Structure 1
Amino acid sequence: MPLHVAFTDRGGLRGRCDVAAVRTVIGDPAFEDGAVVPSGLWQPLSESAAQALNAPPWTPPSTLVEIVRPPAPNGGKLEDLAQQIGDEQAQYLGQALAKPDMITTTENYQDGRLIGLHLDNWDKLNYGQKTTGRRRLALNLGPGTRYILLGALDAQAVCRAVHPEDYAYRCPSTDDYRAHVAAGHPIRCIRIRLAPGEGYIAPTEYLLHDGSTDNQDQPSAMAFWLGRWQRGTLPSLV
């Protein structure tokens, strides 16, 4: 399934979204060679593009993006917040701090280079299972505003395109997206603005994604959980 967002306020969604193409990074020491990043030529999300993102009622929750307001920690431990977010089995992944003005934010822990837009692989899912993974809940702890970046083409579609002969036996990966983009195939990237206290629930095992503080002058920290949430468990911002 393509990128689907749950919303009831199309204007509210458009007001916090932009869209751009992606490109491959070669020869930039800050990034892994072959990393996929937004082109930077951001355009407002059009009315028709917003409508195309609208999630039908039958969209499986495990493939759905929601823009939400998680409960405030209120001085408690972040790892204990799962009891208030609808899945007591949710796994707290920790926090990540992003410096200001980063195109993408996730680093390769081995050498510090940025990996660009990528797929998570916490659940180690093969092609046929890729729609069943846990979703990631993220809460912007501030102090700055930041973005969630999302690719509009899902992991199964990219895997089929890159491995037409044996895709059913593959585990879709970030490398599939890199090969797809390097071969000249376009992928739209949507960025969604998140102020402090705002967050998202997204299928990061299924959709290309990363954080961004592009053109922001403050750092921001993000807290993350993995879990299974039904649609509408947390209050929607759109």
Structure 2
Amino acid sequence: MPDLHPAAIAHRDPAALLDRCEIGGVRRVHGEPGYESGAVLPAGDWAPLSDDLPMRYAPNIFTQDSGLVEFFRLPAVVTNPSALAALVGELGDPAPVPLAATYDPPGEPVTHFLPESGLRPGLHVDNRQNLSFADCRDAPRRFCVNLGPGSRHLLLVTTAITSMCKVVHERFEARRPQTGDFWSYLAARRQVSVLRIRVDPGEGWFAPTVLLPYDESTEDEELPSATASWLGRWGRGCFGPLI
């Protein structure tokens, strides 16, 4: 079976994706306060997408629901946290897993941190269920909503961790993909690109964060923003497409 298409982004209007998305490279940090040694951050060399890239990131016939990135706007009736939680319960997964809410100041290149250490891992995969290489194909997606008041960005590496494992491990089928495999891929002098996609207040996303190294960012924003997130196995098209 072919690999899941990396960074398969559902969109109807290429111009709308171009309007809210940039692309850049990555850099490693060692000994920088607040970060894990070896953490991967965006290089900050953001550039507009070329006109042909929306087609490159379009879903194809091999894209499973579990591998799809989708953006949406919350229904107007969702006006408080309890209404949002009730909405999540109606999206098709009978037991969605709530994740820790966040509140992030502006100006952060990446926002996630490890509760046990307080350090930021940078771009990372979220295989909290310790899924096997094969089971990653049916991994739950992360559902995340920007509660504002500011905008923020979803950061997505465009190469799937399963593809990285195939490069850096002879017995890749035995792997349980983790962020360390991403680091090994970069240590082997392989190049990756990262997308920075704007998410405004009241908007959200579904993404396969077990498969695609990711984080969020408030860099270049003037206001803080909060999020609410869940993990679940949701089919595509729970909401009308945003872009």
Q: TM-score, normalised by structure 1?
A: 0.94
In 2, Cα distance between the equivalents of 1:158 and 1:80?
37
Is the Cα contact below 8 Å between 2:27 and 2:41 reproduced in 1? yes
In 2, Cα distance between the equivalents of 1:30 and 1:102?
12
Q: Note the 1:61-100 alignment, pairs <5 A.
A: 61-71=65-75, 73-77=78-82, 78-100=84-106
In 2, Cα distance between the equivalents of 1:31 and 1:75?
33
Is the Cα contact below 8 Å between 2:127 and 2:177 reproduced in 1? no
In 1, Cα distance between the equivalents of 2:241 and 2:110?
25
Q: In structure 1, list runs of 5 or more residues that go unmatched.
A: none
Q: Note the 1:99-114 alignment, pairs <5 A.
A: 99-114=105-120
Asked whether 1:19 is paired with 2:23, we answer yes
Q: TM-score, normalised by structure 2?
A: 0.93
Identity %: 37
Q: Note the 1:35-54 alignment, pairs <5 A.
A: 35-54=39-58
Structure 1 stretches of 4+ with a deviation exceeding 4 A read: none
Who is 1:127 aligned against? 133
Asked whether 1:234 is paired with 2:231, we answer no
Residue 130 of structure 2: SS of its match in structure 1? coil
In 1, Cα distance between the equivalents of 2:130 and 2:117?
23
| CA-atom RMSD in angstroms | 1.5
Asked whether 1:213 is paired with 2:218, we answer yes
Count of residues in Structure 1 that have an aligned counterpart in Structure 2: 237
Who is 2:207 aligned against? 202
Residue 231 of structure 1: SS of its match in structure 2? coil
Q: In structure 2, list runs of 5 or more residues that go unmatched.
A: none
Would the alpha carbon gap of residues 176 and 74 (structure 1) be closer, same or farther in structure 2, given more than 3 Å must change?
A: same
